[in-house]
Structure 1
Amino acid sequence: MIERGNAIPSIGIKLVSASGTSETTSDAVLGSGTVVVFTVPGAFTPTCHVNHLPGFLASAEALREEGVDRIVCAAANDAHVMKAWAEASGALGAIEFLADGNADLARALGLAKDFSASGMGTRYARAAMIVRDGKVAEIFVEDAPGVNASGAPAILLALETANA
C-alpha cells in the first residue's frame, strides 16, 4: 500500500471535470499543489452516494480555505458513470472525478479491494489521501464499513492540525 512520502504513480485514467472528460495520468492530476483525493468502492453505491461524497461537497470551501487546490474522487467505474454521478450529486465543478474503470490505479496504490462477493469485482478500498506536490502527505484507510477516517471532517481536521 502506498505510504506517506511515496510518489503518486503514473497510471492512465480518465478525468471528469467541469470542462469535460479527458484522458490523462494520475500523476498529472495529483502531482502539483495540495490535493485531497478520496477513493470509494463505487459511484451511486449507498454509502458512497449518501455519506462519503456529500461530506466532501459540503466541505469543499473549508478544504480550500485550508490550502487545498483540488478535491478529487476516484472510483473503479467508467467515465460515463462517473460523469453521471458528478452531475446527479451536484458535485461537478466542486470536485473532480477519476474514472479508473479497470482499477489499475487502485492496484498501483495498493488500495484495490475484492468486492466479488457483492458482484462488484475489484474496486477501491474506502480511503482518502492528502497529496502535496505528487507525494502522499497523509493517508487514511477505513478499517470497517462506513465513513470515519476517510471522511471530510477527518481530512479537514488533519489539514487544520498540519496548518496550525
Structure 2
Amino acid sequence: MFSRHFSSRLLFFTRGLRTTASLKMPIQVGQTLPSIELHEGTPKDKVNILELFKGKKGILFAVPGAFTPGCSQTHLPGYVNDYLKLKAKGFEVIACVSVNDAFVMSAWGIERKATGKIRMLADPAGEFTKAVDLGFDATPALGNIRSKRYAMTIEDGVVKSVAIEPDATGLTVSLSCSILNE
C-alpha cells in the first residue's frame, strides 16, 4: 500500500516537473524577433516587427503605458533627446512599443515630439508582448496586462542585448543612456 501511494505521488511530481520545464521564458540574446504585426498611427497601418528590423541595427524599447508619468517624463524623452547620439552609434531604427491602441501611441508621440525619430508602435491586444513573454498584470493601475519596461538592441531581427527592469516598471537599465554606455 505504501509503495503504491508513494509511486502515484512520484508520478504526479515528475509530471509536474515536465510541465514546469515547458514554461515560456522572456526573449533572450540570440533569438529572432517574432513575426507579429503591430499598429502605427492607425489600426489599419500595420508594421511587422521582424520586417522593421530586417537588415538593420535598431533599438526596441517598451513602456507599460503611454502618457504614464515615468514613461512620459523620463523613458521616451530620453530616447528623443538622445536620438542623434543613438544614430551616431549606428542605430537605424528606434521603436517604442506599448500595450495601447494606435491612436494613443500616435498622440503620445506627437505630444512628446517623438515624430520622425521614434517609431511609436501599438500592441493593442498584447500579442507581441505575450510572444516575447514580457508582460505583467497591471490591472490595478492600468486595467489589463501590460508590457514590462525593457530595452533591447537588435541586428537583422536578432536580439543582441536585452535589459528588463527588475521590477517591470522601474527606470534603471532600460534608459537610452544605458544603451549609449554599452
- Taking structure 2 as the reference length, the TM-score comes to 0.82
Corresponding residue for 1:156?
180
Match of 1:115, as an amino acid? Answer: A
Corresponding residue for 1:146?
170
- The answer to whether 1:98 aligns with 2:121 is yes
Aligned to 1:9, the other structure's residue is in SS state coil
CA-to-partner distance for each residue in 1:77-129, whole Å, 9 max, x for gaps? 10000110010011111111111001100010111111012143111000000
Higher Cα Rg: structure 1 or 2? 2
- The answer to whether 1:64 aligns with 2:75 is no
Pairwise CA RMSD: 1.4
Match of 2:90, as an amino acid? Answer: G
Rounded to whole Å, the distance in 1 between the matches of 2:142 and 2:75 is 21
Gaps of 5+ in 1: 159-164
- Structure 2 counterparts to residues 7-156 of structure 1, below 5 A: 7-16=32-41, 22-144=45-167, 145-156=169-180
Count of aligned pairs between the two proteins: 155
Corresponding residue for 1:2?
27
Rounded to whole Å, the distance in 2 between the matches of 1:62 and 1:91 is 15
Rounded to whole Å, the distance in 2 between the matches of 1:30 and 1:76 is 20
Rounded to whole Å, the distance in 1 between the matches of 2:156 and 2:95 is 14
Tell which has more relative contact order, 1 or 2 (C-alpha 8 A, sep 6+). 1
Match of 2:40, as an amino acid? Answer: L
Match of 1:106, as an amino acid? Answer: T
Aligned to 1:72, the other structure's residue is in SS state strand
Is contact 1:16–1:96 with CA below 8 Å preserved after alignment?
no
Gaps of 5+ in 2: 1-25
Rounded to whole Å, the distance in 2 between the matches of 1:15 and 1:114 is 24
Match of 1:112, as an amino acid? Answer: G
Match of 1:6, as an amino acid? Answer: Q
Rounded to whole Å, the distance in 2 between the matches of 1:24 and 1:64 is 21
